[in-house]
A and B are shown apart, each in its own frame.
Chain A
């Protein structure tokens, strides 16, 4: 298993990395859209994340990689306050969105989530029509109705590269779509809110390779306009799509911490930390 994983990593990454490196130069260093400062997360008495400080650059893709249970998803969910739903979760430290602390006393968590969209591991469309799925957010926030809403839905579906496949069946049940189409529908649903940041929690792990490829192409397209954070188990995926990559690990107490974060090209060619190198060459995890 270790060996078989190691080879494609080596073989697949090198040419890709060259392309990503070129992209990194083109995109130059960007200002941070979001920033986490000394973030600690506790589930009851259990400390899940230790002192995470990380910049999320604007209109780029940040990939978070690391072995299972290293707190990747936990970190992602702090960025749109999804932990508020789970009683007993406690957050210490600061998370800034456009310089504003999203955990500030006067901040409405629903407003944070309206600005920071999320796509989940498994496609989770609502039991409604395709149109109603995409229109759900704007309708609930009273942002658009009638023709303007129809335009917004079309625009969102186009941005999610799904429009051509569904334009004649907008009023069909969303569950009639394939898994990959459902996931793009969920992306369209998130985009309809015109978010500042899009969080993706292993968005392709439940999909076949073709559907995965489509999602990855879509992410690169979206990164021209949106700031994207993706959690992935798949290192090749991170190498293919991300501008920057952060590597998380868990310590002996199973608490996650950040090992390093750098340009994807640097990360996969000359990592600063020995543990990163061990992980990306498949020695553990």
Chain B
């Protein structure tokens, strides 16, 4: 093994084409970095634009006041924010409960034709335009109930998040080792209790992350709310009457004719982006922390 006994007749390690290879390497690396930069441009630009234009209009009154007529002075969108929270909270509740149930079915019991159909339609559903879902809920709920409502808005958003939650829960449950399932069943515990008390806790961190991301995704949706929640200039205590939401307010102000409205729309956009960003970062942080804990 010593260098003295190394055979002398071996060819040199130097490679004739080394210079060219290095050059190619640098070139390719440069291209990849460029691609990364280009794809980051829109994200950074949107954020910067929202901050630059939204910050001037951002004030306490935005969060405390109701909308006011343009000539009366600075109005707010407190009712829209509360409305958004109510709609998203109900949607998250519905979507999570149904989605996790669907995920459990697909991961634990889904073998036959029905499972294939459920999986197929979940995939199709995730591709359906959100405005079409709004229209569907309009026919399903708004028409029979004779009123736009927070409930209808929430159902539309829940349908939107359903495929995401179903597929994430399914994937996360499938990652739980089969040996845990066997261990639970071998103790004479019924299958469904094994799912609820062993498998679901084991998959919880992944499911929670996926659900938070799905909530972040629906929080900014406008189209499904157009003919379901509809919008409102005032406070709304009822869940079965028209209610306002931040994206709806933003939409109304952005296409309105007044400069004051445009400023408010910009601020609303900033608030919405920050809210969604916070949810996404929270989800990533949660996932990361859990991964660390496991190790």
Tell me the A117-158 residues at the B interface (CB within 8 Å): 117-118, 120, 122, 124-128, 136-137, 140-141
Q: How far is the CA of A28 from the CA of B180 in the complex (A)?
A: 38
Q: Which residues of B contact A85 (CB under 8 A)?
A: 181-182, 185, 191
State the Cβ distance, A185 to closest chain B Cβ, in Å. Answer: 11
Q: Does B282 contact A (CB under 8 A)?
A: no
B177's partner among A80, A87, A124, A190 (CB-CB below 8 A) is A124
Inter-chain contact B197/A140, CB cutoff 8 Å: yes
B201's partner among A111, A127, A190 (CB-CB below 8 A) is A127
Interface flags for B216-254 (1: CB within 8 Å of A; 0: not) read 000000000000000000000000000000000000000
Q: How far is the CA of A137 from the CA of B230 in the complex (A)?
A: 52
Given contacts A82-B182, A85-B182, A127-B202, contact A114 B177 (CB under 8 A): no
Q: Which residues of A contact B75 (CB under 8 A)?
A: none
Q: How far is the CA of A47 from the CA of B289 in the complex (A)?
A: 49
Interface flags for B173-208 (1: CB within 8 Å of A; 0: not) read 000010111111111111101000110011000000
State the Cβ distance, A152 to closest chain B Cβ, in Å. Answer: 14
**What band does the interface of chain A fall in when counting residues whose beta carbon is under 8 Å from B?**
20 to 34
Q: Which residues of A contact B189 (CB under 8 A)?
A: 110, 136-137, 140-141
**How many positions in chain B have a CB within 8 Å of any CB in the partner chain?**
20
Q: Which residues of A contact B185 (CB under 8 A)?
A: 82, 85, 110, 113
Q: Does B111 contact A (CB under 8 A)?
A: yes
Q: Which residues of B contact A189 (CB under 8 A)?
A: 183, 187
Q: Does A215 contact B (CB under 8 A)?
A: no
Q: How far is the CA of A190 from the CA of B189 in the complex (A)?
A: 12
Inter-chain contact A124/B190, CB cutoff 8 Å: no
Q: Name the residue of chain B whose CB is nearest to the CB of A122.
A: B179
B183's partner among A114, A140, A141, A186 (CB-CB below 8 A) is A186
Given contacts A140-B193, A140-B197, contact A124 B188 (CB under 8 A): no
Q: How far is the CA of A110 from the CA of B189 in the complex (A)?
A: 6
B180's partner among A113, A115, A126, A193 (CB-CB below 8 A) is A126
Q: Which residues of B contact A110 (CB under 8 A)?
A: 185, 188-190
Inter-chain contact B187/A113, CB cutoff 8 Å: yes
Q: How far is the CA of A267 from the CA of B191 in the complex (A)?
A: 40
Q: Which residues of A contact B191 (CB under 8 A)?
A: 85
Q: Which residues of B contact A127 (CB under 8 A)?
A: 180, 198, 201-202
Inter-chain contact A111/B188, CB cutoff 8 Å: yes
Inter-chain contact B182/A114, CB cutoff 8 Å: no
Given contacts A124-B177, A127-B202, contact A136 B182 (CB under 8 A): no
Q: Which residues of B contact A186 (CB under 8 A)?
A: 183
Q: How far is the CA of A125 from the CA of B180 in the complex (A)?
A: 7
> What are 8 A-B contacts with C-beta separation under 8 Å?
A87-B111, A114-B188, A120-B186, A122-B179, A124-B180, A126-B180, A136-B187, A137-B187
Name the 3 nearest CB pairs between A and B, nearest first: A114-B188, A124-B179, A113-B188
